[in-house]
Every structure is written in C-alpha cells, then in structure tokens.
Amino acid sequence: MAAPYDIILTDAGQKTLNFQQAYGNNTKALCFPKSEIIEILNQPNCTGIRIYFALSDPARPKDITVVICGVKDVVIGGVTTIVDIASNGSKIKNSGIACPPNCTNPSNDLSH
C-alpha cells in the first residue's frame, strides 16, 4: 500500500509536464545534495521540511527558486500544528542546482 505522500511516475510526470507547459522556459527543478537536506532534518525537534516557492529577483520571474526550512509539530489546545523552524541560527536552504541548465540528459518522465 502506498504512503499518503507517494505518487506513481505517470501522475508525477503529468504534474511536472503541466508546470513546464504553463511556465515555458522557466526554472523547472532544483537539486540539493543529501547533506543539505539532512542538515535541516538534524535540527532539534525537526519532524520534516517545508518548501516555499520564491523569486530571488522580481524583475526575473522565470528564475523560480525555493526556500527550504525545517518544521516541527506543536500541540496547541490538543491540536497538532506544523510550524516552521525559522529563526536566526536555524538551517534554511536556497539556491539549489537549477534545471535548466543542469537537467537530466536525456530528458525523462519528470523533465520534459
């Protein structure tokens, strides 16, 4: 049985194709080394990551980037809420290896 966040390749491929057709020659992917993601996940109380879509420069809207931060579960009044671990000194990542130009070659089901 698939985990709730799993997706099959054909569905993932359709979603990436939808984005790449809608946004043309924009950045379509960013790659981060495993060590960078582990650095976020190794923070105290970190239970996952949140990925924000971002622009480094509003004058260059095709240069899509992301900001990645850790999250933690906080129980407030018996309800679990997921909050960012984002304060001075926390690990926050940006500027992965952009595709294009550093894309899978030849293209595959995710990189059209």
Kindly state the percentage of the chain with pLDDT values over 70: 98
- Model confidence, pTM: 0.80
Report yes or no: 64 and 23 within 8 Å, Cβ to Cβ. Answer: yes
Which of 33, 96, 23 lies closest to 61, judged by CA? 23
Please write the tens of the pLDDT for every residue from 25-52.
Answer: 788 888 899 999 999 999 999 999 999 9
